[in-house]
A and B are shown apart, each in its own frame.
Chain A
Amino acid sequence: MTDLLEFDGLSRRFGTVTALDDLSFSVPSGQVVGFLGPNGAGKTTTMRAVFGLTDLDAGSVRWNGVPVGATQRRRFGYMPEERGLYPNMLVADELEYLGRLHGMDTRSAAIATKQWLERLDVANRSTSKVETLSHGNQQRVQLAAALVHDPEMLVLDEPLSGLDPTGIDAIGEVLVEQARAGRCVLFSSHQLDLVEDLCGSVAIIDRGRLVARGTVDELATSGARRLAVRVEGDRQGSWAQGISGVTVSQIDGGEVRLVLDDSTDSDVVLDAARSAGRVTEFVFERRRLSEVFREAVGR
């Protein structure tokens, strides 16, 4: 049976500000789900709602159909946006302590701590105080804190921010690995290229509402079809003018980018191009996630 985290009709207002507005979507296990939205869209409030860290005016968060409570949360892992560790504690002590708070016994917590510190390449700092670690290493320890108790679900708020490429690779690898092992993984980020590489699907919210949800492939190929066509000897793209149901969006160095209406057959375009000369390029273009994002939030 696959696990499922569901957000059902979440609403939350802070004074005059609407943080969440009837937000609903679900996060299945087995894939990394990217949680996107502009600043102030409500991502952090949504994630905090999973852990009871914010009160909801309406709606509920469910885990496998059951409203999330203290028992479920013990099996979740959380990495908040504003990192949180005791700066004066020793790294290993801190992780063992957090593992124990999630119900592990002393021995299991110690073993898991050792394994995760090795896995995240910070084992040599296990007896250092957290505050003496670099930003990147603190980030790794923070991720270990979310993973030490072998959670069924991970909620990570901006886990990749401020990391160098090595750190991004290390943490990204762990997220994908966790998803493949059957965990639910929900993480937010503004680094859309990374999200596109790591995530199986994304949810995009704006002003507290869901504006797009689907797999990366679905979103990249959704909407109007786009073609990039190049005809030898026609750098102006004059062949493309006047084709019914086709809009020329850009002509750049002989490459003509076209947007096709739903009713227009791509063969019509191909025929028009052939009649103008030898076709050297004819490619259906995928939208980048950043384009999907901008289109979804209208900015």
Chain B
Amino acid sequence: MKALPFILAAVAVVLLVRFGLRRKGRGRSSPLAGLARGLRGGRLLGDTGLVAGREIRERLRGRLFRVVTLILFGVVTVAVVIPTIHTGTITRQKVGVVAGSPALDEELQELATAVGLQVELLREPDLSVARAALSADSLNMVVDGGGSILVQNPISDTDTSAGARYVRAVATTLGAQQAFDQAGLTPEQAAAVAEAKPWPVESVHPGKKATTTEEATALIGIVLIFIILTQYLTWTLMGVMEEKASRVVEVLLATVRPVQLLAGKVVGIGVVALLQAVSLVAFALVLAKVVGSNLVHGAAPLVVAATLVWLVLGYAFYSWLYAAAGSLAERQDQVQSLALPLSAPLILGYIVSLTGVSSGNASDLVKVLAYLPPTAPFAMPTLVGFGEATWWQFLLSVVVSVACTVLVALVAARVYRTAVLRTGGRVRLRDLALTSTK
């Protein structure tokens, strides 16, 4: 039921957009209808908007998009829900107490908190009733104040689940307390012994610390960025190549300027990519809230926002390069040889960042790569996940990336303009530099 407000909000948005579109036909107008009309007609950005609009319509209609989107939603569902299934089984332990006392209840609650468990203590009249309830799955364990503990199945020494740790803690602590009582210790002496702390153990080599929620979110984020960038950059590359191969580019360039056609394609495919990413993230957040995942706690939403920002910046940087590369080729095999060198920095940034998150430490390499536009889309969200990026470092990296994207776009537009109308084999950059062959 927690999902109800989100579902209602989503339905409301859909209805508003549909309402806006319908009103268009009746000669009325509203800001929403105007926006919808602009988006649909693609006139918001002139010819570039028209080209982008076609890309969006055709991509959304394609079977490939639907299949990939479904798969991604499935992956996100699994990534969010699976961890909570594990934690979900240990948060609702029902503990039957026979011959209990307020002191025993307090002790049991304290131990539960210590191992990260929530327990519900239920008074049982006698051990046989409690045993029957345990057998019938109504209880997870039974603590007999007389000095015994009942569980459903034997617990192995290697079981590190919260439930198993709780059973071991209860058994050890209550056994020790019984021993203190029998030894005749005063409550103060017993408390002093019970609170004895082990001597600290220090290792000379730093060990792997536990993964935080932010790091886990960053991990999911960089995998998402990699999948989406790979998919949509390939679309850009193939899209430009196909326009050249089918010669439709000649018809288009008879009325549209090359830079408009190029920008329209980059923006159109980018909008589809962003729509998919935002819907995936929104779905993940709603799902996380519904199933009680840690994804929405602490600084994790900040990491999610950083992921989306770098998805946009990463696409913006690479899309121009991929589009320019597509204009050099007119066959599938030519495209593959062009895609390989372009994807190398992408894969480098991804692998190094992924390794950093997995090892629990942001290496110096990640800290350097976070400022280089080709690798920053992976490295900077990783630093944010580790909490090792200040706002000005984040901003600096964004500025560097945007500046480089502008330069790359200028060069790409020049390459595209010259290469896209040259047919009869793969165009080499050297040829473009030497002559204007259009």
List residues of A whose CB falls within 8 A of some B CB. 14-15, 48, 51-55, 70, 73-74, 76, 78, 80, 82-89, 93, 97-98, 100-102, 105-106, 145
Query: Shortest CB–CB separation between residue B269 and chain A, in angstroms?
Result: 15
Whether the Cβ atoms of A74 and B255 lie closer than 8 Å is yes
Q: Is B72 in the interface zone, CB < 8 Å from A? A: no
Query: Shortest CB–CB separation between residue B349 and chain A, in angstroms?
Result: 33
Give the contacts of B205-264 with A (CB-CB under 8 A): 243, 246-257
In the bound complex, residues from chain B placing their C-beta under 8 Å from that of A84 are 246-252
Say yes or no: A85-B50 contact (C-beta < 8 A), given A15-B435, A80-B251, A106-B41: no
Whether the Cβ atoms of B253 and A53 lie closer than 8 Å is yes
Give the contacts of B402-438 with A (CB-CB under 8 A): 421, 423, 435-438
In chain B, what residue has the closest Cβ to A100?
B50
**Bound Cα distance from A14 to B434, whole angstroms:** 12
Whether the Cβ atoms of B254 and A51 lie closer than 8 Å is yes
Q: Is B47 in the interface zone, CB < 8 Å from A? A: yes
Whether the Cβ atoms of A51 and B246 lie closer than 8 Å is no
Can you identify 13 A-B contacts, CB atoms within 8 angstroms?
A: A14-B437, A48-B250, A52-B253, A53-B250, A53-B253, A80-B251, A83-B247, A84-B247, A84-B250, A89-B58, A98-B251, A101-B50, A101-B256
Say yes or no: A53-B421 contact (C-beta < 8 A), given A14-B437, A101-B256: yes
Say yes or no: A101-B252 contact (C-beta < 8 A), given A15-B435, A53-B421, A89-B58: yes
Whether the Cβ atoms of A78 and B436 lie closer than 8 Å is no
In the bound complex, residues from chain B placing their C-beta under 8 Å from that of A70 are 255, 257
In the bound complex, residues from chain A placing their C-beta under 8 Å from that of B423 are 82
Give 1 or 0 for each of B251-288: 1 = CB within 8 Å of chain A CB. Answer: 11111110000000000000000000000000000000
Q: Chain A interface mostly helix, strand, loop or mixed?
A: loop
Whether the Cβ atoms of B247 and A82 lie closer than 8 Å is yes
Contact of B246 among A14, A85, A97, A102 (CB under 8 A): A85
**Bound Cα distance from A247 to B292, whole angstroms:** 105
In the bound complex, residues from chain A placing their C-beta under 8 Å from that of B437 are 14
Whether the Cβ atoms of A86 and B248 lie closer than 8 Å is yes
Query: Shortest CB–CB separation between residue B80 and chain A, in angstroms?
Result: 35
- Interface residues of B, CB < 8 Å — how many? 27
In the bound complex, residues from chain B placing their C-beta under 8 Å from that of A93 are 57
**Bound Cα distance from A51 to B252, whole angstroms:** 10
**Bound Cα distance from A55 to B251, whole angstroms:** 17
Contact of B250 among A76, A82, A89 (CB under 8 A): A82
Query: Shortest CB–CB separation between residue B410 and chain A, in angstroms?
Result: 19
Q: Is B331 in the interface zone, CB < 8 Å from A? A: no
Whether the Cβ atoms of B253 and A97 lie closer than 8 Å is no
Query: Shortest CB–CB separation between residue A117 and chain B, in angstroms?
Result: 17
Whether the Cβ atoms of B246 and A86 lie closer than 8 Å is yes
**Bound Cα distance from A54 to B255, whole angstroms:** 14
In the bound complex, residues from chain A placing their C-beta under 8 Å from that of B47 are 101
**Bound Cα distance from A85 to B251, whole angstroms:** 8
In the bound complex, residues from chain A placing their C-beta under 8 Å from that of B246 are 84-87
In chain A, what residue has the closest Cβ to B418?
A55
Query: Shortest CB–CB separation between residue A142 and chain B, in angstroms?
Result: 8
**Bound Cα distance from A268 to B246, whole angstroms:** 62
In chain B, what residue has the closest Cβ to A87?
B246
**Bound Cα distance from A106 to B254, whole angstroms:** 20
Whether the Cβ atoms of B254 and A78 lie closer than 8 Å is yes
In chain A, what residue has the closest Cβ to B248?
A84
Q: Is B367 in the interface zone, CB < 8 Å from A? A: no
Whether the Cβ atoms of A85 and B254 lie closer than 8 Å is no
Candidate in B243, B254, B438 with the most chain A CB atoms within 10 angstroms:
B254
Contact of A102 among B51, B54, B247, B255 (CB under 8 A): B255
**Bound Cα distance from A84 to B242, whole angstroms:** 11
In the bound complex, residues from chain A placing their C-beta under 8 Å from that of B254 are 51-53, 73, 76, 78, 80
Query: Shortest CB–CB separation between residue A228 and chain B, in angstroms?
Result: 47
